[in-house]
Structure 1
């Protein structure tokens, strides 16, 4: 019996030793190894690297964790976090961010799950010569068809009027504001890209705006797939279900956009009247060029990017603005009083009145600073590059950390406080503040910055003029909680829009 017992113990010991050896082997060989040429960072874990930092807690908790890790382990405003085996250099020094965002070597885009659908086409997920040519075309076209034009202001005001009508029709029932803001913002993009607006009651249009919102939610649940794309093939899992739902949504949006493009192809006469028309005319001019980037697929993906990025960022900023006002009643009272003083009763704001409402502009900027919709506009190096004292190989991910800069007391004293006054000078006029760049900066700054500023101003002032915001019974809000997906969005909430008598 003793021999059998000893034999059993020996076998168990061998098994345990083997398991231990296997784990040590995995730790040594699968654990990401830190590069000596990159900035320092926290210890990595087997297989996941530092992914636990990116995925722990809600949106703001993750952003704060990354900021603290950079401060603790980083050096010279830089810290390297490993996403699986891929290093991601987080840069929180504003001067370094200005340098890298203006350097051609830092204009690449990382590869990931988005490439399954976009296939390195469009405006957001491209690089190299295709990106340069298409970005130049987009900037010129967007400027020609709206940026700073009177007709675009009139269109946004028209959308603001319909938004107010939609909210009045709710008859002060609790609603998710994003469900009403998204169609109005999306219609502005429609006018620029397609040349027409849709009725908010149009079923196809409503379906499009619903899909855009769903895609943001789904993307927030699939971040692990960016590191381990094979997770999408595991059957009967939530990740697989989310992946299939997202692919179906993307396909449905593609059908909608291809219909718009086909309609334009059947009527290409006259001067360019919108983005799709201008693109198709340029494609016709380049049809004999073997290396042309003006293809049907490029057009579809570009318009997709305009719809998605142009809609979600603006509508989400407005939903954040409502939260911050409800949490800061003194600011709410002051900004609404300014709007009432400038905008006539029953009227809507126009661009000529904008300079008369500096506090409103300051409130919008403070919302953008604290909401941090796109906290890490990720780049990759297109070739070997030097950043500070560190050498970055080609293909290295580099993330300007807007969140850390927007919370830097060097630029924003008492950074956690919601204080629009920080964006005003001693005369109460709007001023430029170093360290504030919600639309990014450099060679890949946001294409729609001018448009977004117009929309935020007109929509926000219109809402303040015509409604009071009240939290629905039983609802809670918090400006310190968020969902981090395609953008950093607030936790969904419902409020009551109470019609004002003016």
Structure 2
């Protein structure tokens, strides 16, 4: 109820604010309309004063609106988001040319006011320049040393699978929300960060899950999008303040563990990511130019908590939902599982090679869910790209939706179809256009861990259970429209039964 009040207050305040801003912008528009720019931007729809091209966009699903505009303006075009210009890249070839071949130029992160307010340029996901390069390099190396993508973490995933199946069993066939599946993947991330898994009833764990859930939802709010577009009017807005309050609550938990690890650090026995980054911080304490200062340590751990708990757990939820929607696919997966996992042994990651259909289904879940349609990049220098001169600091949107839903690469791009990843003989086929983890230097650093988790959790759950809609609901009634939060989630009201 409190959030609803704040949203209504936001709406009234924004309306008054934008009315005033509209008058000022029209005046500035007529004063400066003859000013020429030295830059040669790609073509795009003509902007209106103040709002730019926002009238052409569904603010909840900007990716689909941008995909539609690309049909008219081609694989690279300019869009005006409020008073800011952005370059939209669509199609596999264009995105790879920028993010892979032009990685030095296109690897910066666009300035987004909410993430600047949270991280202040620190961390591994929303930082740029040397801060990003150094922190990412250290994080990747540390996570690999801790077993990411290796047998030691695989054993933890298999152990966690058994706790998760126990949780599902506890409902005894009664319906429960899809969000309950978040516990398993989240605990894997927490184990790597903190060194131990949490009991599903642990109040600290449940509070963290609730906070993360609320933050992810608020990050997709239209009111938050308006804050990112018009941060100068933040005094009249509330949503970003709620997010920052909840981030502070998460950071209190993180800081407590960071300090505890610092008090008893043994550089010869580093078992968690927090221990490794604290050790690095101690090692560089005398270096006044170190990037491993306290703000960056906390920001990096926060990035891993938020990303590592949301993306994989949401993909698992999409997988269960799609199995309920398409029971014939679920039956084929279960048949393959039974034929490969003899005597009911638990799945291991290497089993994917003997389970092409299940592997194809998991890949198709990721493609169809299109979890993160885009996160804006920025140009690190002035550059010429495809005949256009684009200045340093320009926002660039690599639209992954345009690749994952491209009819040139997928036979039925808007439908869930595991055959997208199978050849005529039923063998698994890798697809270059499969880019749910992005591509280039900003490729998701947890990709190998996510792949292992998805395979083990998905096949392990289907080995044990058959998932059906709640009693009284038919498969055709299940809603596959995404709920646009920071990620694209299944609708929050959806429930399932496990039998």
| Structure 1 position 22, deviation (Å) | 8.6
Query: Which structure has the larger Rg?
Result: 1
Tell me if structure 1 keeps the 8 A contact 2:40–2:389: yes
In structure 2, what is the equivalent of residue 134 of structure 1? 135
Q: Alignment partner for residue 274 of structure 2, among 273, 276, 290?
A: 276
> Is 1:205 the equivalent of 2:208?
no
In structure 2, the residue matched to 1:171 is 172
Residue 44 (1) aligns with residue 44 (2): no
> Following the alignment from structure 1 to structure 2, what is the Cα–Cα distance between the partners of residues 27 and 170?
61
Contact 1:88 1:399 in 2 (8 A): yes
CA distance in 2, matches of 1:93, 1:457: 28
Q: How far is 1:344 from its partner? A: 4.1
Asked whether the equivalents of residues 220 and 484 of structure 1 are also in contact (C-alpha less than 8 Å), the reply is yes
Of 392, 395, 400 in structure 1, the residue corresponding to residue 398 of structure 2 is 400
Q: Give the structure 1 partner of residue 258 of structure 2.
A: 261
Aligned residue in 1 for 2:229: 227
1:120 match: 121
Count of residue pairs brought into register by the alignment: 468
What is the SS of the residue equivalent to 1:89? strand
Query: How far is 1:424 from its partner?
Result: 1.9
Structure 1: tracts of 5 or more residues without a match: 1-19
3-state DSSP of counterpart to 2:392: coil
* TM-fit CA distance, 1:23: 8.9
1:108 positional shift: 1.1
User: 2-side partners of 1:213 and 1:478: how far apart?
Assistant: 20
Offset from partner CA, 1:391-446 (integer Å, 9 cap, x none): 11001011111101111121112322321112123442322212111101111100
SS for the counterpart of 1:432 is coil
CA positional deviation for 1:33: 9.2
Deviations 1:41-86 (A, max 9, x none): 1121221111233444x53xx43221111111x23x1111111111
Question: Could you tell me which residue of structure 2 aligns to residue 68 of structure 1?
Answer: 68
Displacement after TM superposition at 1:245 (Å):
2.3
Preserved CA contact (<8 Å) 2:193 2:274: yes
Q: Measure how far apart 1:232 and its partner are.
A: 3.4
TM-score between the two structures when normalised by the length of structure 2: 0.89
Moved more, 214-223 or 425-434: 425-434
- 1:15 alignment partner in structure 2: none
1:177-200 Cα shifts (integer Å, max 9, x gaps): 21x222221111111112211111
Q: Within 1, Cα distance between the matches of 2:185 and 2:438?
A: 21
Residue 82 of structure 1: aligned partner:
80
Q: Are the structure 2 counterparts of residues 333 and 201 from structure 1 closer, same or farther at C-alpha, using a change threshold of 3 Å?
A: same
Q: Give the aligned CA root-mean-square deviation in angstroms.
A: 2.2
Partner of 1:90: helix, strand, or coil? strand
Q: Are 2:58 and 2:65, in contact at CA under 8 Å, matched by a contact in 1?
A: no
Change (3 A) 1:324 1:52: farther
Counterparts of 1:403 and 1:153, CA distance in 2: 31
Q: Contact 2:338–2:344 (CA<8 Å) still a contact in 1?
A: no
Q: Secondary structure of the equivalent of 1:223?
A: helix
Q: Distance in 1 between the 2:217 and 2:359 partners?
A: 29
Q: Distance in 2 between matches of 1:199 and 1:31?
A: 61
* Rounded Cα–Cα distance in structure 2 between residues aligned with 1:23 and 1:147: 51
- Checking the alignment, whether the CA contact within 8 Å between 2:189 and 2:305 is kept in structure 1 is yes
Q: Is the 8 A contact 2:25 2:49 kept in 1?
A: no
Contact (CA 8 Å) 2:470, 2:497: kept in 1 or not?
Answer: no
For residue 26 of structure 1, report the CA deviation from its aligned partner: 6.1
Match of 1:431 among 429, 441, 448: 429
Greater CA drift, 423-432 or 165-174:
423-432
Specify the alignment match of 2:352 in structure 1.
Answer: 354
Q: 1:295 to 1:428 in 2, by over 3 A?
A: same
Post-superposition Cα deviations, 1:121-177, rounded to whole Å, max 9, x if no partner, equal: 111110111111111111111111122321211111111111111111122222212
Are the counterparts in 2 of residues 31 and 46 from structure 1 also a CA contact under 8 Å?
Answer: no
2:377 to 375, 379, 392: 379
2-side partners of 1:289 and 1:301: how far apart? 20
Corresponding residue number in structure 2 for 1:95: 93
SS at match of 1:398: strand
The worse-fitting range, judged by mean Cα deviation, of 263-272 and 319-328 is 319-328
Q: Do structure 1's residue 484 and structure 2's residue 484 form an aligned pair? A: yes
Query: Is the Cα–Cα contact under 8 Å of residues 323 and 478 in structure 1 kept in the other structure?
Result: no
Match in the other structure for 1:154: 155
> Where do 1:416-495 residues align within 5 Å?
416-473=414-471, 476-479=477-480, 481-495=481-495
Q: Distance in 1 between matches of 2:456 and 2:24?
A: 62
